[in-house]
């Protein structure tokens, strides 16, 4: 390619005076001389020729190589004009949100993350007077940490954040093909979660950090793009401070200009140039970067000074990656062959300091006649605000935190001055070198009062201890803030172990209605994020399994055709249920279903109830806990097996009848034996009573000695009727 207006030697001088040979044919490629300004040929003394092409006309087809870097083809003058136009718009956007950045920096101080001890130097402390308390109430920090913990549990489960939703599993109508689609969807879900948890190892910690800032400032952003260095789709968080949006935009779709401010190391920038992502052009040295108010506050909290650690050659560069609508010369919008002047969406990457364009690419899908801009960013909102930047806990609890912090400090300072009061001392009467007295416990310090009473020389300030009114006000402010911020403790059961599940769920839903709405917004944003990641995989399918270390052991092998079909047939949705705000709510709902099924077990599928309950509890693979189902006999043997079962049943009935007759005989024998034993027992009892009566009568007669002959005769008479002792009673069978 020969740039316009430049002079080039087309032939080198022939060595040793040899002839030049035949005429040369030069292929100019996509550029040709303008017929209105013909070329000028200038012969040289050494036999060569210099051709000045003058003005060059460009004949490049706008549809050729849709995703190429157009900055490689445009001249420096055109690129400079485009760069200045884009940078002016970016600087106007930065100026429009200067107050928003300052408010964000002040909010970081309200978190109380920096150690701030009372000091005599008021200028470097947050206290208005010396020796005053600098403690901060953790109301705002507690609300942010709780929100981050809840949101992380909902959006980032341990098994992975993606759940596959099969839209049409019965399109073929064949059960075998339906099972194949189910298996395909299950494997896609498994491998997609493996990608986001293992291959893209930055996804979980990066998203966790974003959720902290979502709760703090009201919104966070995800950038989904194909990284040329990592050679795979990447979803990284972008803090709201570094996403500059045009003034007046309410969302990302209708923003005329969205700029991602990137701080890039020189080595990364050079690698991007080598790989062809950026134009290889000299940029010069990078000056010392000026920090924003938020960056300065973050460094102050962390106790770091990164600017002092950079060498001149290691100084990072500020890159503006702007997604905007511009009119690029040579690539204008045309309607019926005529230029309409309609700005088209482009991606323009500019080095801030050198103001040189590194990248200029079309930002619409090839073949799209509507020229709709590609989506690159996803917004995670907390509460939709009045403008583009949403409402966060900083805006909801900021003033409340300031008020309760002031009340805390007043109570602490009042208690301190009440215990260690200051006061006034008579300067003339008390001739001391200092008016500071520090007396230890049980110690006395002499003071010269010149004979006056000491209470006329020294008078303490009338400090008061913190009263109950101040403490009650402080508690009320804190409780109000906790209720608004969603961190208040819930007394759902009121100490009852048998509280109805429905009542408990109603109380939880009423108390968490705000957090429930926030989680639904986050789930919607996460579903949009997964959709953009899916589009990137459709552009480069092999990146899905390129870095999968266990792909050789996988039960399902992917290829481009099968993977593309799986993405078309299935949707990627968040793993958590967007209609339920938290894990606790899901457990409570599962418990309610279990109680209803237990009350009427015949109306429910017990296995399905157990499966849903275990899944709500977070049990992995709950089906493995169930006993295997009974084996069903093959279809062709049902008739023979039915006859066999009937024969076996008849044999069992006959055996039962025979056994029943034997049991009846045995029962009759036992009853007869019981009767015999009972008769023998009754006879033995009668004889025993008779013996007792005989002995009693004999004893009575023995008291009268004269009646001895009569007694003997009576005993002899009775003894003749005594029956010998009977043998032992036999045991009863059974």
**Residue 59 near residue 16, CB atoms below 8 Å:** no
Q: What percent of the chain has pLDDT over 70?
A: 67
Question: Which ranges in 444-582 belong to alpha helices (H)?
Answer: 468-485, 501-511, 513-539, 560-569
CB pairs under 8 A, 24+ apart, for 77-82? 78/329, 78/330, 79/356, 79/357, 79/360, 80/355, 82/326, 82/328, 82/348, 82/357, 82/360
Token output for 309: 């650690």
Residue 528: which pLDDT band, with cuts at 50, 70 and 90?
very high
Check residue 416 and give its pLDDT: 77
Contacting residues for 546 by C-beta, under 8 A, at least 6 apart:
231, 232
CA-to-CA distance for 479 and 487, rounded, in angstroms? Answer: 9
What is the pLDDT at residue 52?
A: 59
Q: Which residue matches tokens 């949100």? A: 97
Q: How many CA atoms lie within 13 A of 360 on its CB side?
A: 23
pLDDT in tens, 590-649: 777 878 888 877 778 877 888 778 777 767 677 777 777 665 555 545 555 666 666 666
CA dist., res. 392 & res. 401, Å (int): 14
Measure Cα distances from 76 to 71, 72, 320, 360, 503 in Å.
Answer: 9, 10, 18, 13, 71
Q: Is the pLDDT of residue 324 over 70?
A: yes
Confidence check: pLDDT of 56 > 70: no
Residue 223 in contact with residue 377, Cβ under 8 Å? yes
Give the tens place of pLDDT for each residue, 152-211: 988 998 888 988 876 554 444 555 555 677 777 888 888 889 999 999 999 999 999 999
- Tell me which of 58-72, 274-288, 559-573 is least confident: 58-72
The pLDDT of 19-46, averaged and rounded, is 56
Q: Which residues are 571's β-sheet partners?
A: 165
Q: Which helix (H) or strand (E) holds 191?
A: helix 175-194
pLDDT of residue 550: 65
Q: What pLDDT digit, counting tens, does each position of 111-134 carry?
A: 988 887 766 555 555 655 556 778
Of 734 and 186, the structure prediction assigns the larger pLDDT to 186
- Ramachandran class of 137: left when φ > 0, alpha when ψ lies in -120 to 50, beta otherwise: beta
Question: What phi, psi does 261 have (nearest 5°)?
Answer: -85, 115
CA distances from 733 to 667, 671, 672, 681, 682 (A): 10, 10, 11, 16, 19
Q: How confident is the model at residue 565 (pLDDT cuts 50, 70, 90)?
A: confident
Average pLDDT over residues 411-437: 71
Q: Which residues contact 618 (CB under 8 A, 6 or more apart)?
A: 583
- Residue 459 has a pLDDT of 80
pLDDT: which is higher, 53 or 693: 693
Whether 485 shows a pLDDT value over 80: the answer reads: no
Return the bridge partners of 716, or none.
none
Q: Which pLDDT belongs to residue 29?
A: 44
Distance CA 194, CA 162 (A): 10
Tokens 């399905």 — which residue? Answer: 608
Q: pLDDT: is 143 or 305 the higher one?
A: 143
Pick from 385, 374, 366: nearest CA to 345? 374
Q: Which residue has the higher pLDDT, 27 or 697?
A: 697
Question: Token digits for 188?
Answer: 């896609």
HSE (side-chain half, CA atoms, 13 Å) at 350: 26
Helix 513-539 / helix 501-511 crossing angle, nearest 10 deg? 80
The least confident of 20-24, 151-155, 286-290, 439-443 is 20-24
What's the average model confidence in pLDDT over 524-545? 91
Rg (CA), the chain: 47
Closest CA to 209 of 85, 380, 436, 336: 380
> pLDDT tens across 62-111, in order?
445 888 999 998 999 999 999 999 999 999 999 989 999 999 999 998 89
CB-based contacts of 402, cutoff 8 Å, min separation 6: 110
Average pLDDT for the chain = 76
Percent of the chain whose predicted confidence (pLDDT) is above 90: 25
Whether 228 has a pLDDT exceeding 60, the answer reads yes
Confidence of residue 714 (pLDDT cuts 50, 70, 90): low
At 373 the pLDDT is: 92
- pLDDT at residue 371 greater than cutoff 70: yes
Mean pLDDT over 683-700 rounds to: 72
Query: How many Cβ atoms sit within 10 Å of the Cβ of residue 564?
Result: 14
CA distances from 370 to 365, 497, 592 (A): 10, 62, 51
| Per-residue pLDDT at 166 | 65
- Residue 609 backbone dihedrals phi, psi, to 5 degrees: -65, -45
344: closest CA among 370, 322, 318?
Answer: 370
Max Cα separation, the chain?
189
For residues 376-395, average pLDDT: 91
Q: Do 203 and 162 form a contact (C-beta atoms < 8 A)?
A: no
Q: From CA 456, how far away is CA 451, in angstroms rounded?
A: 10
Please give the pLDDT value at position 690.
Answer: 72
Q: At CA 628, angle to CA 626 and CA 634, rounded to 5?
A: 150
**Tokens in use for 113?**
């993350």
CB-based contacts of 384: which residues, under 8 Å, 6+ apart? 390, 391, 521
User: Residue 299 has what pLDDT?
Assistant: 82
């Amino acid at each position: 390619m020969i740039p316009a207006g430049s002079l080039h030697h087309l032939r080198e001088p022939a060595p040793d005076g040899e002839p030049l040979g035949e005429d040369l044919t030069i292929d100019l490629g996509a550029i040709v001389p303008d017929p209105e300004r013909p070329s000028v040929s200038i012969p040289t003394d050494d036999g060569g020729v210099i051709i000045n092409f003058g003005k060059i006309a460009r004949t490049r087809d706008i549809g050729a190589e849709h995703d190429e870097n157009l900055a490689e083809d445009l001249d420096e003058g055109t690129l400079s004009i485009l760069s200045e136009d884009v940078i002016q718009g970016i600087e106007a956007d930065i100026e429009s949100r200067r107050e928003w950045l300052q408010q964000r920096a002040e909010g970081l101080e309200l978190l109380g993350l920096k150690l701030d001890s009372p000091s005599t130097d008021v200028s470097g402390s947050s206290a208005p007077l010396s020796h005053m308390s600098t403690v901060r109430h953790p109301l705002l920090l507690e609300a942010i940490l709780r929100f981050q913990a809840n949101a992380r549990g909902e959006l980032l489960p341990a098994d992975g954040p993606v759940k596959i939703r099969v839209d049409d599993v019965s399109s073929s109508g064949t059960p075998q093909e339906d099972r194949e689609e189910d298996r395909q969807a299950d494997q896609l879900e498994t491998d997609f979660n493996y990608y986001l948890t293992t291959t893209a190892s930055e996804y979980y910690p990066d998203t966790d950090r974003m959720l902290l800032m979502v709760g703090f400032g009201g919104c966070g952003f995800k950038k989904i793009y194909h990284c040329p260095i990592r050679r795979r789709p990447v979803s990284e968080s972008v803090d709201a401070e570094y996403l500059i949006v045009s003034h007046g935009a309410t969302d990302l779709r209708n923003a005329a200009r969205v700029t991602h401010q990137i701080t890039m190391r020189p080595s990364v920038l050079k690698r991007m140039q080598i790989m062809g992502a950026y134009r290889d052009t000299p940029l010069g040295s990078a000056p010392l970067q000026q920090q924003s108010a938020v960056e300065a506050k973050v460094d102050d909290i962390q106790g770091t000074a990164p600017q002092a650690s950079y060498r001149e050659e290691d100084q990072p560069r500020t890159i503006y990656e702007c997604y905007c609508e511009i009119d690029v010369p040579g690539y204008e919008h045309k309607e019926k062959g005529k230029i309409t002047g309609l700005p088209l969406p482009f991606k323009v990457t500019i080095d801030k300091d050198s103001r040189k364009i590194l990248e200029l690419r079309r930002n619409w899908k090839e073949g799209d006649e509507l020229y709709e801009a590609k989506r690159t960013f996803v917004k995670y909102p907390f509460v939709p605000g009045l403008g583009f930047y949403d409402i966060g806990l900083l805006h909801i609890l900021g003033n409340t935190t300031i008020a309760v912090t002031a009340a805390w400090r007043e109570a602490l300072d009042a208690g301190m001055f009440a215990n260690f009061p200051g006061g006034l001392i008579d300067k003339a009467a008390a001739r001391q070198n200092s008016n500071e007295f520090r007396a230890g416990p049980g110690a006395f310090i002499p003071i010269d009062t010149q004979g006056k009473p000491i209470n006329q020389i020294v008078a303490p300030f009338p400090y008061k201890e913190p009263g109950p009114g101040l403490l009650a006000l402080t508690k009320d402010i804190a409780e109000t803030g906790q209720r608004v911020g969603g961190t208040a403790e819930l007394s759902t059961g009121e100490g009852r172990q048998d509280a109805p599940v429905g009542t408990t769920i109603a109380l939880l839903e009423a108390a968490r209605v705000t957090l429930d709405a926030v989680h639904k917004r986050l789930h919607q944003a996460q579903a949009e994020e997964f959709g953009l990641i899916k589009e990137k995989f459709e552009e480069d399918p092999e990146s899905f399994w390129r870095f999968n270390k266990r792909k050789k052991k996988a039960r399902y092998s992917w290829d481009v055709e099968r993977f593309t079909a799986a993405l078309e047939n299935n949707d990627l949705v968040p793993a958590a249920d967007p209609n339920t705000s938290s894990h606790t709510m899901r457990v409570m709902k599962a418990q309610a279903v279990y109680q209803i099924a237990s009350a009427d077990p015949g109306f429910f599928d017990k296995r399905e109830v157990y499966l849903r309950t275990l899944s709500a509890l977070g049990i992995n693979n709950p089906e493995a806990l169930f006993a295997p189902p009974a084996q069903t006999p093959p279809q062709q043997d049902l008739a023979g097996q039915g006859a066999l079962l009937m024969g076996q049943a008849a044999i069992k009935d006959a055996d039962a009848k025979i056994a029943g007759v034997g049991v009846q005989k045995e029962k009759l024998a036992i009853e007869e034996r019981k009767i015999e034993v009972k008769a023998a027992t009754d006879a033995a009892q009668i004889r025993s009573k008779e013996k007792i009566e005989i002995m009693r009568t004999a004893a009575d007669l023995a008291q009268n000695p004269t009646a001895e002959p009569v007694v003997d005769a009576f005993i002899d008479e009775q003894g003749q009727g005594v029956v010998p002792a009977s043998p032992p009673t036999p045991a009863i069978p059974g």
